[in-house]
Structures are given as structure tokens and as C-alpha cells.
Amino acid sequence: MSTPPVPVPRLDAIGLVTADLAASLAFYRRLGLAVPDGAEAAPHAEAPLPGGLRLMWDTHETARALDPDWTPPPPGGHTGLAFRCPDPAAVDALYEALTAAGHKGARPPWDADWGQRYAVVQDPDGQGVDLFAPLP
């Protein structure tokens, strides 16, 4: 007897756990995400992404409530987020705006061998966030 096929799930959301929800939401708002006003006051926040995905944030306290043995990952974690910019100049401008706002630049903009203008900045939890655009 054969087993019925298992339905293929659709990726719906990417979750981040943050030490400082207000700082994290401010960072991602600077990237242009539509984080609802007042979301800083809740233990969980979400923002819609183009294409139907959502980016979600939980506080360390929320993570511990779900799993009492949970411990925060080291800065930088293991999740990578990459934001496509409209053009190479936008990569430079966004990197400058984020670092001028006090966020740590992990790698200044450069023209990567794979044909993209690329930069990396860290969010308030030390998570690397890539900024890129195709080169002409």
C-alpha cells in the first residue's frame, strides 16, 4: 500500500528573535518595511513583504515563554536577509543612511564578481543584512 503524497508547504514568513524590538523595528523601517505603528509595544510584530511573504519579530521573552530552555544565539546568528535595491547607487545611499543612523557597517559597498553592487550592514542584533542591486 502506498502512502498518500505529502502536500508541499509554501514559505510564508521569516522570523527573527530580537533583544530590542523597538531598535530592530526602527532598523527595518529604515529599509522601507511597512511595520505597523505601535508594534514596539507588543511581544510579536509582523510586516508584509513584496511577493506575499512576511517578516516577523519576537522578543527574547516571547521565545523563552514558548521554550523555557531557549537561549539567544550569538550575534550574527545563522539567518541571512538580502534586500534588492533599485540600482547600484541606491545600495550606496542606503548603506550610508543606515550607518549614519548608527548601525554597524559590516562591509562597505563594492562591485562583486557575480555582477552586483553589494554591501552588508548589521541590524541591532548583529544580524548581517545584505543590500544589493544588479550592475549595468
pLDDT at 34: 95
> Which pairs count as long-range contacts for 119-122, CB under 8 Å and 24+ apart, including other chains?
119/91, 119/92, 119/94, 119/95, 121/95, 122/75, 122/76
**Count of residues in the chain:** 136
State whether CATH 3.10.20.440 applies to domain 1-68: no
**Predicted confidence (pLDDT) per residue in 43-56, tens digit:** 889 999 988 999 99
Residue 132's DSSP bridge partners are 84, 118
With 90 as the cut, is the pLDDT of residue 135 above it? yes
Burial 53-69 (b: 16+ CB within 10 A, else e): eebebbbbebbeeeeee
> Where in the chain is CATH 3.10.180.10?
1-68, 80-136
pTM: 0.80
**Predicted confidence (pLDDT) per residue in 3-34, tens digit:** 777 667 687 889 888 999 999 999 999 999 99
Domain boundaries 80-136, CATH class? alpha beta
Can you tell me the mean pLDDT for 53-74? 85
